[in-house]
Amino acid sequence: MVGLGTWLIPNDDAKRVCTDALNLGYRHIDTAQIYQNEEGVGNALVSSSIAREDIFITTKMWPGMYGDETFQTFSGAIEACEQSLKLLQLNEIDLYLIHNPFATNSRVELWEAMVELKKQGKVKHIGVSNYNVKHIKEIEDAQIEMPVANQIEIHPYHMIPDALEVYMNNHNILPIAYSTLAPLPNWREGSRWNSKPEAMKNDPSIPFLEVAEKYNVTVAQLLLKWSIQLGYPVLPKSVNYERLKENLDLNFTITGEDMSHLSVSNKAQSLAWQEKFDPLDVD
């Protein structure tokens, strides 16, 4: 339920951070082709004494982005997975995801590549990321094997849209939460990917610190536990040993009243993709 997120961890630091995490008890590491740190993650895996079957590795195929590049093809997706396997020094990826839904004209083709990779034994489970109902329904309508997971932005300011949550529940698709720590003042500190809407920066409606103090935990621990109690695995990222340890120490329970108080679903402020677009609304 608590994995190590590696977005924004440089490749040169990835081995150290992943090694620290594994030694602390993490057994799920999340990376991606676009993160450019799969090699460092792989170096940590091969140097660890922990059995391979006890570690769950998620990585993602980059299909392209509007206005930035050409979109991925079936053969390109196969090659991308093979490259990730090589960098990670693995024979099989536990969970392989399509990173976003922006390859409008080839989404089904790319999903067919994912199914093929599973048939070849290169990946154990296949899923998507940042997909909405429309995107997943294309797979259903094509009568292809459905995703097992959808990795999406989830925190008290950005809940899963109701229609998506119902659809995923009906099709046994697990929501995996990223950017759960977005409400923290120092979220992605020093990065150009840390912009927040002014309304969120100044919003006093959720006294996170007050609730955290009630349980004698940090706000980060409160946010992570909030997601886990909703049933969503989390992927907190840190390069700091003590914070890595803290993010794994979630031995407390938030009351139902406090859970409701923390869930401000009407805010719907997406942070992970900033103002360029909302991945849950893209055509």
State the Cα–Cα distance between residues 173 and 122, nearest whole angstrom: 21
- Give the total residue count for the chain: 283
Task: Identify the active-site residue in 35, 131, 157, 178.
Answer: 35
Q: Are 129 and 151 in contact (CB under 8 A)?
A: yes
List phi, psi (to 5°) of 180.
Answer: -65, -25
Residues with Cβ within 8 Å of residue 46, at least 6 apart in sequence: 89
The pairs formed by 220-224 with CB atoms below 8 angstroms and a separation of 24 or more are 220/181, 220/184, 220/246, 220/247, 221/246, 221/247, 221/249, 221/250, 221/252, 222/254, 222/262, 223/155, 223/156, 223/180, 223/181, 223/183, 223/184, 224/2, 224/180, 224/181, 224/250
Instruction: Report the amino acid identity of residue 4.
Output: L
User: Three-state DSSP class for 15?
Assistant: helix
The question of whether 35 is a catalytic residue gets the answer yes
Distance from the first to the final alpha carbon of the chain: 31
Which of 19, 83, 20, 91 has the alpha carbon at shortest distance from 53?
A: 91
**Residues catalogued as catalytic:** 35
